[in-house]
């Protein structure tokens, strides 16, 4: 099995859409270990609709749209890191984190603490809006300090070439491409937009 982690600099930046495109491009399965918030559907259902791929059941499916540790506490449970071991599957597996890297899973551990346990390479997804240089740089520092193999940064949003190049240059990180905003989002339009992503660089790291 070869796995790749899709992490984000923040929540609601297009990480799930990117994960759906990557899942389809790799012919992979998809796993969202912890889902916080189920009103309006789950990320697994979104990825399944946009990729046609098989999605694996969440280890924790929590109702409240909040930090995982708060959602779990609402339901009287504590997220156990031992329950988040990578599932064994044939072929590639795309694993999507929850929100940003420093989202708490419980009162002792952040989501980032899982990445060294998994030992899988990471794609960092960042938006192109104002503030992304700071958020992306801090996220890359955290990933590297944790000993993660970061394949590169993929951007989501309107083109900001100067900003994107600044991040790539100053952080010495591969620019994996950019997904634009897709007005009519469906499986075909996502697959077409995903041609702008350097899938070969990601595949070669698995």
Cα dist from 83 to 33, 52, 78, 80, 113, whole Å: 9, 26, 11, 5, 14
- Cβ atoms 14, 129 nearer than 8 A: no
* Catalytic residue check, 32: yes
Determine how many CB atoms are found less than 10 A away from the CB of residue 12. Answer: 9
* Burial class of residue 40 (count of CB atoms within 10 Å of its CB; 0-12, 13-18, 19+): exposed
Given the residues 15, 32, 45, 129, the one annotated as active site: 32
Q: Which residues are catalytic?
A: 32
């Amino acid at each position: 099995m070869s796995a790749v982690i899709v992490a984000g600099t923040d929540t609601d930046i297009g990480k799930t859409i990117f994960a759906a495109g990557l899942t389809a491009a790799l012919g992979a399965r998809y796993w969202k270990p912890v889902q916080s918030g189920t009103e309006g559907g789950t990320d697994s259902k979104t990825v399944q609709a946009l990729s046609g791929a098989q999605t694996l059941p969440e280890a924790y499916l929590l109702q409240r749209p909040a930090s995982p540790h708060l959602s779990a506490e609402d339901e009287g449970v504590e997220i156990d890191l031992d329950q988040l071991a990578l599932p064994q599957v044939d072929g590639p597996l795309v694993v999507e984190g929850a929100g940003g890297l420093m989202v708490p899973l419980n009162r002792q551990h952040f989501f980032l603490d899982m990445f060294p346990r998994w030992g899988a390479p990471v794609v960092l997804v960042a938006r192109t809006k104002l503030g992304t240089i700071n958020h992306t740089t801090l996220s890359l520092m955290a990933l590297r300090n944790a000993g993660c193999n970061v394949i590169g940064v993929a951007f989501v949003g309107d083109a900001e070439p100067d900003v994107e190049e600044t991040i790539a240059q100053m952080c010495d990180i591969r620019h994996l491409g950019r997904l634009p905003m897709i007005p009519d989002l469906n499986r075909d339009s996502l697959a077409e937009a995903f041609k702008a992503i350097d899938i070969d660089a990601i595949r070669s790291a698995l």
